[in-house]
């Protein structure tokens, strides 16, 4: 869930394929303007229809590339939740709520298999499309320069896949070869340190691409910019993941919160909800917690059945957590039941609550405070 928060910041949904949510990063929307600009600069004219078709082909090749990653991830026992598409590839999010299958293969080896799947699929698609195109249209001239241009979309299809594979062979995290590098680092380092080391190499490579592109080819500058932006996304994910795994619930749980009684009427419950910032409420009988009810459920019950009692509308099945559990554990419990609240108990006594709203708020503040402390400690 934390990954989705980060990824949704600058992306829009684009459907689902094989159970994987596709999101398009804003950088993809720069491509039509860039293609139009380069075509107009080269030929003093542009064909909007063919330019759009070229962008659509790039998008389809990137989707296929990322699906290769997702399908191999599932095969090695890791479920992909979503992937955010950039023109250079994508940033994949794994499903934190799904258990990782024990296949007997070390995680770093599985990560290498997942990373290698994208470029290999892109190469396979290039070879397949070249064979089909040559069979049905031998005059396409696959080896004529420029390889990618709107005036020859068939040739462009082959070379876009080859370029995508070639780009991802650069050891610049989060490109695929960079992910292989990160997997190798993780053999001796913890995941966060391994990712940071790979990110530093990736950002250096991206900077080199930008500088070389300024001197020779503007497309290299654009690609370097995309790689740098993807690295920034990954860096934010690392910070969030670090917070999730290391922060205990006692550090962020709400200790000042409203509760309801099962004997409260729904109208009384709604009145309390109006004067509270909470969307979800623990239901307490005596000293025991007996249920959970949300503001939306109170309203729904009032509309459908009129004024009744909280005990008739509350959810009686809910997960609880302890003070010492991590934020990652709380997110998993919220996601597994699509819940809005997790009670925190100690000696069977309610001592706090965790809600999605306060987790999102606290997680952002904690990540930022850690980043500030780190920058202050550096000379």
Residues 6 or more apart in contact with residue 224 via CB below 8 angstroms: 205, 206, 207, 208, 209, 210, 211, 212, 213
Tokens of 119: 């470029």
- pLDDT, mean of residues 95-107: 69
- Domains assigned to the chain: 2-246 (no CATH), 250-364 (3.10.580.10)
pLDDT for residue 366: 67
Tokens of 318: 């809910």
Q: What is the pLDDT of residues 114-156, one digit of tens each?
A: 999 999 999 999 999 999 999 998 888 898 888 888 888 999 9
In this predicted structure, the answer to whether residue 21 has a pLDDT above a threshold of 80 is: yes
Confirm if 293 and 261 have CB atoms less than 8 A apart.
no
Higher pLDDT, 283 or 9: 283
- Average predicted confidence (pLDDT) for the chain: 84
In this predicted structure, the answer to whether residue 377 has a pLDDT above a threshold of 70 is: no
**Helices (H) then strands (E): counts for the chain:** 13, 9
In this predicted structure, the answer to whether residue 378 has a pLDDT above a threshold of 70 is: no
Cα separation, 130 vs 354, in Å, equals 55
Count of C-beta atoms within a 10 Å radius of residue 42:
11
Quick one: how far is CA 145 from the chain centroid?
A: 37
2 pLDDT tier (thresholds 50, 70, 90): very low
182 pLDDT tier (thresholds 50, 70, 90): very high
User: What dihedral angle (degrees, nearest 10) is formed by the CA atoms of 353, 357, 361, 367?
Assistant: 80
Q: What is the pLDDT of residues 184-221, one digit of tens each?
A: 999 998 887 898 899 899 989 999 999 998 888 888 88
Cα separation, 35 vs 272, in Å, equals 56
In this predicted structure, the answer to whether residue 5 has a pLDDT above a threshold of 60 is: no
- pLDDT, mean of residues 231-257: 80
In this predicted structure, the answer to whether residue 176 has a pLDDT above a threshold of 90 is: yes
pLDDT for residue 3: 46
pLDDT for residue 6: 45
Q: What percent of the chain stands above pLDDT 70? A: 89
pLDDT for residue 374: 66
User: What dihedral angle (degrees, nearest 10) is formed by the CA atoms of 151, 154, 156, 158?
Assistant: -170
Q: What is the pLDDT of residues 34-73, one digit of tens each?
A: 888 887 777 777 788 888 999 999 999 999 999 999 889 8
Cα separation, 37 vs 218, in Å, equals 11
Cα separation, 57 vs 66, in Å, equals 14
Cα separation, 195 vs 204, in Å, equals 14
């Amino acid at each position: 869930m934390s990954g989705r928060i980060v990824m949704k910041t600058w992306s829009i949904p684009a459907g689902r394929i094989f159970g994987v949510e596709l999101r398009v990063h804003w950088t993809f929307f720069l491509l039509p303007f860039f293609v139009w600009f380069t075509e107009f600069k080269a030929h003093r004219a542009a064909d909007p229809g063919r330019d759009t078709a070229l962008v659509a082909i790039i998008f389809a090749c990137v989707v296929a590339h990322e699906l290769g990653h997702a399908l191999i991830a599932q095969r090695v026992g890791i479920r992909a939740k979503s992937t955010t598409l950039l023109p250079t590839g994508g940033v994949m999010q794994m499903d934190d709520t799904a258990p990782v299958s024990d296949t007997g293969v070390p995680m770093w080896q599985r990560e290498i298999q997942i990373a290698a799947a994208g470029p290999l699929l892109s190469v396979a698609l290039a070879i397949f499309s070249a064979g089909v195109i040559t069979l049905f249209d031998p005059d396409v001239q696959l080896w004529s320069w420029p390889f990618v241009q709107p005036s020859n979309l068939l040739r462009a299809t082959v070379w876009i896949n080859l370029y995508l594979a070639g780009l991802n062979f650069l050891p610049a995290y989060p490109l695929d070869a960079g992910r292989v590098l990160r997997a190798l680092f993780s053999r001796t380092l913890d995941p966060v340190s391994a990712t940071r080391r790979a990110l530093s190499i990736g950002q250096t490579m991206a900077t080199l691409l930008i500088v070389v592109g300024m001197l020779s080819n503007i497309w290299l500058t654009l690609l370097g910019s995309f790689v740098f932006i993807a690295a920034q996304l990954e860096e934010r994910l690392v910070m969030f993941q670090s917070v999730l795994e290391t922060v205990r619930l006692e550090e962020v749980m709400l200790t000042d919160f409203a509760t309801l009684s099962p004997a409260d009427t729904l109208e009384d419950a709604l009145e309390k909800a109006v004067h509270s910032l909470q969307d979800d409420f623990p239901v307490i009988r005596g000293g025991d917690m007996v249920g959970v009810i949300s503001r939306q459920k109170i309203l729904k019950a009032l509309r459908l059945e009129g004024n009744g009692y909280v005990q008739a509308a509350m959810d009686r099945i809910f997960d609880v957590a302890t003070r010492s559990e991590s934020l990652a554990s709380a997110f998993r419990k919220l996601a597994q039941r699509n819940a809005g609240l997790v009670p925190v108990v100690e000696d069977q006594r309610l001592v706090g609550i965790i809600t999605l709203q306060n987790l999102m708020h606290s997680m952002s503040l904690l990540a930022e405070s850690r980043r500030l402390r780190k920058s202050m400690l550096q000379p």
